[in-house]
Structures are given as structure tokens and as C-alpha cells.
Amino acid sequence: MLYPFTFKPILKKVIWGGSDICPFKGITPVENGVGESWELSHVEGNYSIVDNGELEGKSLDELIRSYGKELLGEKVMERFGTTFPLLIKFIDARDNLSIQVHPDDELAKKRHNSFGKTEMWYVIKAEKGAGLYSGFSEQIDAEEYVKRVENNTIMDVLQRYDVNEGDVFFLPAGRVHAIGAGCFIAEIQQTSNITYRIYDYNRKDANGNGRELHTELAKDAIDYTLYPDYRTHYKGHTNATVELADCKYFTTNLLDLDTIMVRNFSELDSFVVYICMAGKASIRDNKGNEIFVHQGQTVLIPADTEVITISPAPGAKFMETYIGQ
């Protein structure tokens, strides 16, 4: 019988990593230089491992192969097969990350036999003056894009946002973007590891070499549409489900709780992921399983679960994600 799963975090030490992930997740001793925690991953070579209950030690891949639609949902398997379609991460950037873009499904399938990458960011914490890039600040075309990369003026036409806790950005495949120094975010994305690097601030490695840029690949992947605002606007409410994103790849809601909430998923036909953003709570399902979760933990609710009851300590906050469309 399936139950709510937690997983061992996959910590990634990188040159640009900060020091927020371990304290946020309650991991001791604190490690510095951790840039990412892969919370729930079905990327080959980085399969998440169950951390609780009788299936502890099994990989997410083994769960999918053993339980299929009970875990994922029938509708989800029809679309994505035996791939878990989402990758959940925390990202802590001490330095600016490169400017990048991801291809959509069609281009990624053609070039890499992979899914594309649509994603979203939720800002958990931001240092004063920290910002990120999403989209363009003025209209350009593919030709101008190539010229601007070559003459180092691409940053002049990117839209930069100062960010604060709670800010949300939805990033469909094709949108140029980058996380800036001082940003600590939660990221929900399609399971895909394909990134085209557009610009890296002319940084050099220890041997004086710049990082590889994917100018030509990115040229055809970029959506050059200019939008007036690339930020997601939402109104927070306590003890309600507040929608942050809704697309064919995922639906994400914010739950800010100080009282018991019951969620009925009997008609959903999808797994549900809870990322605990603050506080702590117990989650009980209709099968009698109960799990206690705290800030920084991610929980996978199997698709065959019909109802869950979340009993929070005051100030508990979750992001809830499933395949809705």
C-alpha cells in the first residue's frame, strides 16, 4: 500500500552555491557552497531515494516501475510514460547564474530526444537588492540577439526585477532568464536537463577559458515576444488554495495555513507534491497513513490517495503541485 513519501535530498556543491539550503532544510552540519538541493528527481543518474516507511531505500524509478499508475496517475502515464514529469529543487545563488533559455517539447524532442523545460520560481528569501532576469525589456529579433551576444550588449535588453520573499515567476520554455546573486528560490520544472547558455558575463575559469555558449541553438529556442510584465501577480489568503501557476505541465497552489485543511483528490488522477516552505504540519491520508513534515521537506502523495488532511502548526506554508490539465 502506497503512502506519502519523503526523499533524501540530493545536494549539489557548485562554485556559485551559497549557505542557505542546509539551515532552511534543518541539515547539520551546515555545508557551504551548496547551490542546489534536488528534492524530487527522476533525472537519470540523480534518482531520488525514499527516506521513510517500508519502502525506504527504494528509488523513485523503482517506485514507478513497481506501482505505475497507482503512484503517478493513469492520465499522467498516458502523457509521460514511466518518467516522473517534474523536477523539484531549491536553488541558492551566491553569484549571478548565466543567462539561459530552454527549448520547448518539440525542439527538445527533435534535437535531444528529451522533454523541453517549462518552469516556475518562488522566491523564499532574497538579500537586499537581489534580482533576477525574466524576458526582454525591448523588442528584438533573432538577428539582433546574435549581434548583441557577440558585442556583449545582450544584458541591455533583458528585463531585470528586484525580488522579495513570495515573488513568483512563471517561465515557459523559450523565455530568456537568469537567477541573480542573493536569491534563494524553490523551482518546479519539467524533468529535463537541457539548458542553452546565452551569456556568462565574460567570466573565465582558472585556465582563462570562458564557458561554452550555445548562441545558435538558443537562437531558435527563444520566444522573442515582448510582454509588459513577466512577474506572476497573486493575492495571498490564509487557509485557502491560491493559484500560482496553471499550465499543461503543472498546476501549483500556495497554501498558507493556521487551521486544518482537507484536500480531496479523488477526481484528479495525478500524484501531488507538497513542498513545505515554512513551519510544520502533519499530513494524514484516507488510508490511515500519517507523516510529519517541516520546513524544507518535500512530500510525494501517490495518485491513488483520495483525501488528505493537513493539520498545521500556525504559520505553516506549502506549495502544492500536480498535473492538472
Do the annotations mark residue 237 as ligand-binding?
no
| Residues 310, 255 contacting (CB under 8 angstroms) | yes
Cα–Cα distance list, 319 to 1, 275, 277, 298 (Å) = 25, 5, 7, 9
> Pick the catalytic residue: 94, 148, 175, 197?
197
* 142-157: burial string, b at 16+ Cβ within 10 Å, e else: eeebbebbeeeebeeb
Quote the Cα angle for 270-42-294, to 5°.
70
112 is in an annotated binding site: no
Distance set, CA 94 to CA 45, 164, 182, 218, 236 (Å): 26, 16, 5, 25, 28
Find the distance separating the first CA and the last CA of the chain, reported in whole Å: 27
22 grid coordinates: 542546509
Cα–Cα distance measured from residue 273 to residue 245, given in angstroms and rounded to the nearest whole number: 14
Active-site residue 197, yes or no? yes
> C-alpha cell of 108?
527538445
Q: Which amino acid is at 65?
A: R
Would you say 177 is a known binding-site residue? yes
| Numbered residues of the known binding site for Zn(2+) | 102, 119, 177
Active site amino acids: 197
| Numbered residues of the known binding site | 102, 119, 177
